[in-house]
Structure 1
Amino acid sequence: MKKSKGIVYISDTHTFLPVEKACIPVTDTGFQRGVGIFEVLITYKAKPMGLDEHLSRLQKSVKAIGFKPFYASNHIKQKVLEGIKRFGEPRMMIRIVITGGDSNNFMFKTDPRLVILFMPLKEYPSFYFDKGIKLLTSKLSRILPEIKSLNYLSGSMAYHAALNHRCHEGLYVDKNNNILEGTTFNFGIIKDKTVVVPEKNVLDGITIRFVIHLAKKLGLKVERRPIALVELQYVDEAFLTSSNREIMPIVKVDKTQIGDGKPGAYTMKLLEMYRDQAEAL
């Protein structure tokens, strides 16, 4: 039997459909202009990690982007839980998308559209965690970094530039050569038992919040401040965080080796603690 590619809920019809049969109008402003916001989360044993936190951030994005009042978090949560039950996979990726809706002039002014996608989780190769990954810096940046916008032109460009240089991902750096965040992740370093994470002009990541909490439990200090690119020459460890990557070690940024060039002990311990917490949901 062919494995399902996933299911999707669309607010137009209030129904769940196989992804192969789902469609939205080409006049949708998310398609035409990239006007929209989204959240991504994953499940462990069919239980969503950080669902309430993701929905809270989604509502903040709704207000920030200027959308009309839309479905309450409880309604979206109900549809997410229903979709998890319908799809029935223990490990899945859930993508909650709100677009600007349909418009004849492709500028959002009507009712937003809610789309919730449920798909099998594509696991990252284990050697990404065992060996660590490499990043390439980029002077590009995200529009409105405090929200998860559908406009991913800069992210796509930075990502493909990284691939062309045999790196795994792109890392945004501002005009003062301070590290911001990655194309699809938050960034952090560890030096002298202190975790440092940028705080301004970056997404308020859900996973990085969990990591900060776990770091404190581990006895590490935590600082929220800018990270100068030059600091990477002297740090012990570096890592990225995101819902689908969890906590992933970074061993090189551009030509700078991080620490001894291997995944750091604290990074791997935080990953272990994070997974233990997720599996205990």
Structure 2
Amino acid sequence: MGWTPKYLIQNGAMIPWAEGRLHPHSMAVTYAATVFEGIRAYRHPTTGAYAIFRLDEHLARIAQGVKIMRFENPPTLDVMRAGILKLIPANDPDDDVYIRLQVLIDGPGHQGTRGPTGWTAVAIPRERSAGFNKGLSVGFSSWTRLSDNSSPPRVKAVANYHAGRLVTMQAQADGYDTALILNSQGKVSEAPGACLFIVRDGKLLTPNLNSDILESVTRDTVIAFAREMGLRVHEVPVDRTELYVADEVFLCGTGQELVPVTQVDRLQVGGGQPGPVTMRLQARYEALVRGTSDDHPEWRTKVEG
């Protein structure tokens, strides 16, 4: 992946990459009044055509975030959808595309200011996780996960990701690839930017939505096709030590995709290698997002041009 972005969208206008502007006294800067989505467009290996994976679900989620954040007069989903579909061919990529869509308050104000509401979209290259094939080493963080009554994790708000940044920097200092976070009840929530699954005794377990996790589009995707593959999936509260005795562990998210975990708190997971169930699910996910499988065509939005 080495292509260079040429254009971005700011408040509906397609402008050269270098001309993107945001006032330093805007609410988006001074109070992190921004919600966002990370969205991927995949290139078909044979035809070279692009399709955006689960675009409408990402747009629906950003609308929920805008509602909870009480932004006034946001752009319509149709406007943002049309902009994204034009942005990809305008940048003339030669590999997969990562789209960062943001809705933000782009004027000055105070903590109660609700507008004016603007939006931006950028299309950039993004490499795969270094652990995609070999697996990740993770440790539990001493930081506690945000809760619905403080800074709701179901909102993909920029402000929420400061907590994930603290977790990530601690993980790096401790020698891990990334970290897992416990919620205020001591149950496992997720990793910074990724949801968690474990395989144990032939079952697939994942923290439920009340475990202070993001309502992840990728998690929903994995649950759906795992059940289609005949796996029993349980959305339940998960204890830390369940990962110690799990047969397999993996993370998933739009950015991470589906990545095995081979070590937790320096304890080997299973045989210490990416497990067979994880690799089957990873291959299935790859086929679905890239369009080499004909299943779930409703999840792929074709990009023209």
Q: TM-score range by the shorter chain?
A: over 0.9
**Which position in structure 2 is the counterpart of 1:146?**
154
CA offsets, 1:117-156, max 9 Å, x none? 111222333xx12221011222332331111110122111
- Partner residue of 2:263? 252
Contact 2:244 2:264 in 1 (8 A): no
With a CA cutoff of 8 Å and minimum separation of 6, indicate the structure with the bigger relative contact order. 2
Given that 1:251 and 1:262 are in contact with CA atoms closer than 8 Å, whether structure 2 keeps it comes out as yes
Moved more, 2-11 or 90-99: 2-11
1:52-95 CA distance string (max 9 Å, x none) = 11001111111111111312211110000010121121411100
Q: Which moved more, 1:262-271 or 1:15-24?
A: 15-24
Q: Partner residue of 2:113?
A: 108
1:236 and 2:239 correspond: no
TM-score between both structures, scaled by the size of structure 2? 0.86
Pairs within 5 Å for 1:1-281:
3-11=3-11, 14-45=12-43, 46-89=50-93, 90-105=95-110, 107-125=112-130, 128-138=131-141, 139-142=143-146, 143-151=151-159, 152-199=161-208, 200=210, 201-280=212-291, 281=300
User: How far did 1:176 drift?
Assistant: 3.5
CA distance in 1, matches of 2:232, 2:3: 45
CA RMSD of aligned residues (A): 1.7
Other-structure match for 2:46:
none
Moved more, 211-220 or 98-107: 98-107
Matched letter for residue 236 of structure 1 = D
1:207·1:241 contact (CA, 8 Å) conserved in 2? yes
Shift of the 131–4 alpha-carbon distance from structure 1 to 2, 3 Å rule, reads closer
Tell me how far apart the structure 1 counterparts of residues 5 and 144 of structure 2 sit (CA, whole Å): 33
Contact map agreement 1:101 1:108 (CA 8 A) in 2: no
CA distance in 2, matches of 1:97, 1:25: 15
Maintained 8 Å contact 1:188/1:196:
yes
1:227 aligned counterpart, secondary structure: coil
In structure 1, stretches of 5+ residues that fail to align are none
**Residues in 1 aligned to 2:200 and 2:6: alpha-carbon distance in whole angstroms:** 42
Residue 129 of structure 1: SS of its match in structure 2?
coil
Q: Which runs of 5+ in 2 are unaligned?
A: 44-49, 292-299, 301-305
Within 1, Cα distance between the matches of 2:56 and 2:3?
29
Alpha-carbon distance in 2 for matches of 1:41, 1:133? 23
Paired with 2:70 and 2:109, the residues of 1 have a C-alpha distance of 19
Alignment correspondent of 2:294: none
Structure 2 residue identity aligned to 1:10: Q
Name whichever of 51-60 and 133-142 sits farther off.
Answer: 133-142
Distance in 1 between residues matched to 2:41 and 2:166, nearest whole Å:
29
Inter-partner Cα distance in structure 2 for 1:153 and 1:259: 32
Q: What TM-score results when the alignment is normalised by the length of structure 1? A: 0.93
Distance in 1, Cα, partners of 2:269 & 2:222: 20
The question of whether the paired residues in 2 share the 8 Å contact of 1:181 and 1:202 is answered with: yes
